[in-house]
Amino acid sequence: MEPPAVLMPLRRWMTSDPLTAGPSETLREVLQRMRRHRVDVLPVTLGGSVLGLVRCTDLLHRTMTEDASADLQAMARLPVADFLSDAVCVPADLTEVEALRRMRAAGVAVLCVVEGGRLIGTLSEGDLAGFLIERWTGGSARRASSRSGNQLDVLLRVARESSRSLELATILQEITRHAVAALPIDQSALLLLPAKDSPLLVVHSLYSIQEEGHPPLEELSLEGTLSGWVTLQRRSLRIDDLDREARFHDSPERFSGRMRSLVSAPLLFRDECLGVLNFWCHRPHAYLDSDLELVELIAGHISAAIQSARRVEREQRLVEELREVNRIQDEFLAVATHDLRNALQGVLAYIGILAVRAGDDPVLAELVGNLASASSGMKTLITDLHDLARLGMRAIRLHPTRLDLKKLALSVLDQHAEFAREEEVHLTWPEHEPSLFLEADPVRLRQVLSNLVSNAIKYNRPGGRVEVRWRQEDQEAVLEVWDNGVGIKPEHQEAIFDLFRRVASSSRKAEGSGLGLTITRQLVDLHGGRIELNSEVDRGSLFRVRLPLHRIPEQERAILEPLPPRPGA
Ligand code: ADP
């Protein structure tokens, strides 16, 4: 049959299989490989780059005349250009037919393909014949003629499959299921390196197409095994006939010698080799170079999938660890603040006695007054910290009852009347607004409102105003605390709800811990409500709390569930 008119450049068919020699190999090993593959010239490579070429006759000469441990690296230092005129070196854009002609003329079984003076690969007679037969017979010599279409299809499916699951055994099974459409596969395996410098490969998953079950194979050493070679060399490998491949003849992955041909690719991610992907076939000469390329691409997808599975696992572990650290901290804080509060209770009692004893002594009375104010500030801080720790531990349970929001608002305003007078801030409320009933925890809701009212007074100016109002909107009770104080910058309006977040929005030195709004928001959350803020610098702020009128049963459960992490909290 006549060859087709348009011929492919050689570059497309060039082999990338290990028809090379490593500088550390002995002459005997290299010669054996040359004989096995019937080649006269081999490139010597180091770390993926070609050092030069060695010729069979030169090697034989050395072994016979000198000692057999001659330095292969030194021998390979022949510049590639020296071979250019030689019939064994051909340019990469030569056609297949011309390449075959040159092979025959030179009587060699392998051509070195050179581009721009550099050796870029080798091409064997077998490869070339396989490709030519496949082309001239419309592809029927191997598989369907739509093979490249198949390969694309397989790759697409592989990409989809490898990102769908985090379970590697499932990934391999699905990938193998898709890959059989384009490759002859009797067995596939995914082997992973458990750690960076591990001397062993762990067989992560084995998958057999025809047979149920497979031989037990759990670990393989890197030394002396086929997969180990691929891992250490970080190079893919195609072996046409393992029976003729002395290096890996006894490799345990041959499954008692049943496997004859193989394509194997390292799972590379950046500069790390994560493991190996292998496909085997019972019959020899089952794989082409283009199959190897396909397997390399598949391996790339698997590496990415492994990396993302490992990242997710690492992140989950980190989140668990952080949760545990938080839990321990909250527990410690809860116990410590509980004990501190009890101790302080005693101190406050003594301060009460001292205040009585101070009598008319103005100096002593002032000292006791200062002591009392510092201690009560400390008590507020300790109580806030205690609440926060218990909220973090989800130890705060609400005790909701039906309560009147108006009554609660008036009582809180009354409680802050003295403070407002000191700060020269005027407190107001809508006197004619009727009562509004809702189901809420009276103690915790008072805490919410107290914090908002005291902030509204604190971050205000002499002559300023604070108003508390309430109303019903659909099934919600709306509670508002408005002030015409210093206001909050837009960029701080979310941050002030974060732990210990205080902002320099005030020109006045207001005392505080930065815990109040964090606790307030969490207590509102526990009630199934939400808190909103409108504020403008120098014009004032409006804190609006929306609470369901009736408690929803789900909320009870939500209290026991972990709270969603709050950004920045
Ligand atoms: P604290 O008042 O103890 O500092 P909070 O958590 O209650 O802690 O408040 C956090 C910060 O939010 C305050 O430091 C203040 O800067 C700002 N803030 C709260 N309420 C107001 C308000 N009504 N007007 C202006 N700034 C406010």
Cα torsion angle, 413, 419, 423, 424, sign: positive
How many separate helices (H) and strands (E) can be counted in the chain?
A: 16, 18
Question: What is residue 30's predicted lDDT score, i.e. its pLDDT?
Answer: 79
Whether pLDDT at 254 is above 90: no
Buried/exposed code over 344-382 (b: 16+ C-beta within 10 A; e: otherwise): beeeeeebeeeeeebeeeeeeeeebeebbeebeeebbbb
401-411 mean pLDDT = 95
Nearest to 372, CA basis, from 350, 387, 396 = 350
Backbone phi, psi, residue 55, to 5°: -105, 145
Contact by Cβ (8 Å): 96, 9: no
- Site to substitute for ligand 1 among 455, 491, 515, 531, most atoms within 8 A of C-beta: 455
Atom number in ligand 1 closest to CA 513: 3
The residue contributing the CA closest to ligand 1 atom 21 is 455
462-486 mean pLDDT = 96
Question: What is residue 290's predicted lDDT score, i.e. its pLDDT?
Answer: 78
> What is the rounded average pLDDT for all residues in the chain?
77
Beta strands in 81-174 (DSSP E): 89-91, 110-115, 118-124
Question: What is residue 538's predicted lDDT score, i.e. its pLDDT?
Answer: 93
The residue contributing the CA closest to ligand 1 atom 20 is 455
For residues 446 and 373, give the distance between their C-alpha atoms in angstroms, rounded to a whole number: 22
Least confident piece of the model among 164-168, 402-406, 425-429: 164-168
Structure tokens of 418? 């003295």
For residues 68 and 27, give the distance between their C-alpha atoms in angstroms, rounded to a whole number: 6
Question: What is residue 566's predicted lDDT score, i.e. its pLDDT?
Answer: 40
| Cα 488 to middle of ligand 1, angstroms | 9
Q: Residue 243: which pLDDT band, with cuts at 50, 70 and 90?
A: confident
Nearest to 298, CA basis, from 178, 146, 165 = 178
Contact by Cβ (8 Å): 238, 262: yes
| Cα 510 to middle of ligand 1, angstroms | 9
Question: What is residue 569's predicted lDDT score, i.e. its pLDDT?
Answer: 34
Whether pLDDT at 501 is above 70: no
Nearest to 205, CA basis, from 242, 164, 177, 167 = 167
| Cα 147 to middle of ligand 1, angstroms | 69
248-268 mean pLDDT = 79
| Cα 502 to middle of ligand 1, angstroms | 6
Whether pLDDT at 523 is above 80: yes
What amino acid occupies position 151? Q
The residue contributing the CA closest to ligand 1 atom 13 is 502
28-38 mean pLDDT = 71
| Cα 348 to middle of ligand 1, angstroms | 27
Nearest to 202, CA basis, from 217, 192, 214, 215 = 192
Least confident piece of the model among 54-63, 385-394, 437-446: 54-63
Q: Could you say which DSSP state residue 133 is in?
A: H
Structure tokens of 545? 């709390």
Question: What is residue 294's predicted lDDT score, i.e. its pLDDT?
Answer: 86
Q: What is the pLDDT of residues 69-106, one digit of tens each?
A: 556 666 665 554 444 445 567 777 777 778 778 877 87
| Cα 499 to middle of ligand 1, angstroms | 11
Q: What is the pLDDT of residues 220-239, one digit of tens each?
A: 788 878 888 888 888 888 98
For residues 80 and 113, give the distance between their C-alpha atoms in angstroms, rounded to a whole number: 11
Question: What is residue 170's predicted lDDT score, i.e. its pLDDT?
Answer: 76
- Site to substitute for ligand 1 among 387, 517, 523, 542, most atoms within 8 A of C-beta: 517
Backbone phi, psi, residue 189, to 5°: -150, 150
Whether pLDDT at 1 is above 80: no
Highest mean pLDDT among 200-214, 255-269, 507-521, 543-557: 255-269
Q: What is the pLDDT of residues 9-28, one digit of tens each?
A: 444 444 444 567 777 777 77
For residues 53 and 67, give the distance between their C-alpha atoms in angstroms, rounded to a whole number: 20
Question: What is residue 8's predicted lDDT score, i.e. its pLDDT?
Answer: 42
Cα torsion angle, 548, 553, 556, 557, sign: negative
Question: What is residue 5's predicted lDDT score, i.e. its pLDDT?
Answer: 32
**C-alpha dihedral, 390 to 392 to 397 to 401, nearest 10°:** 100
The percent of residues in the chain predicted with pLDDT above 70, rounded, is 72
Q: Residue 249: which pLDDT band, with cuts at 50, 70 and 90?
A: confident
Whether pLDDT at 560 is above 70: no
| Cα 470 to middle of ligand 1, angstroms | 21
Question: What is residue 127's predicted lDDT score, i.e. its pLDDT?
Answer: 63
Q: What is the pLDDT of residues 96-149, one digit of tens each?
A: 778 778 877 877 666 777 766 666 666 766 666 666 655 555 443 344 333 455
- Site to substitute for ligand 1 among 391, 461, 499, 502, most atoms within 8 A of C-beta: 502
For residues 407 and 421, give the distance between their C-alpha atoms in angstroms, rounded to a whole number: 21
539-548 mean pLDDT = 96
Beta strands in 362-518 (DSSP E): 401-404, 426-428, 437-440, 465-473, 476-483
Please report how the helices 289-358 and 147-164 are oriented relative to each other, as an axis angle in degrees rounded to 10.
Answer: 20
Question: What is residue 423's predicted lDDT score, i.e. its pLDDT?
Answer: 95
Q: Residue 306: which pLDDT band, with cuts at 50, 70 and 90?
A: confident
| Neighbouring C-alpha atoms within 13 Å toward the C-beta of 362 | 0
Question: What is residue 53's predicted lDDT score, i.e. its pLDDT?
Answer: 73
Backbone phi, psi, residue 434, to 5°: -75, 170
| Cα 518 to middle of ligand 1, angstroms | 10
Higher pLDDT, residue 139 or 331: 331
How is 535-551 classified by DSSP, letter by letter?
EETTTEEEEEEEEESS-
Atom number in ligand 1 closest to CA 487: 25
Contact by Cβ (8 Å): 44, 68: no
Q: Residue 183: which pLDDT band, with cuts at 50, 70 and 90?
A: confident
Contact by Cβ (8 Å): 159, 152: no
Q: Could you say which DSSP state residue 4 is in?
A: P
Contacts of 260 (CB under 8 A, 6+ apart): 241, 242, 243, 281, 282, 283, 284, 286
Contact by Cβ (8 Å): 409, 545: no
Question: What is residue 6's predicted lDDT score, i.e. its pLDDT?
Answer: 36
Backbone phi, psi, residue 197, to 5°: -105, 25
Pocket residues: Cβ below 6 A from ligand 1: 451, 455-456, 459, 483, 485-488, 496, 501-503, 505, 512-518, 541
Tell me how crowded residue 476 is: count the other CB atoms within 10 A of its CB: 16
